[in-house]
Amino acid sequence: MNARTGESVAFGTTVVAAILLFTAFVALFRRDLGDPVVAAATFAEAGAAVWLIGRLIRHLSRRPQMDWRQR
């Protein structure tokens, strides 16, 4: 996989993770998102989780991978 494809996959994974985490936190709290404290906590936790997932993906994509011709 080349660098551009790897970045696209990482970005897509991050977007999907953000959507899923946001949905999970809303379902978990089942409170009114109009409450500023609940909304801030939800977005902060989702943002932190997406950041960590992105860092993990970038770390794993930097590892050298064996080419299929080397097997």
Separation CA 26–CA 14 (nearest Å): 18
pLDDT digits (tens, 9 = 90+) for 24-47: 666 666 666 566 766 676 777 777
What amino acid is encoded at 12 in this protein? Answer: G
pTM over 0.75: no
Element (H, E) at 29: helix 3-29
The Cα-based distances of 50 to 1, 16, 22, 40, 64 in angstroms read: 23, 9, 10, 15, 24
What is the pLDDT averaged over residues 46-50? 76
Question: Strand, helix or coil at 31?
Answer: coil
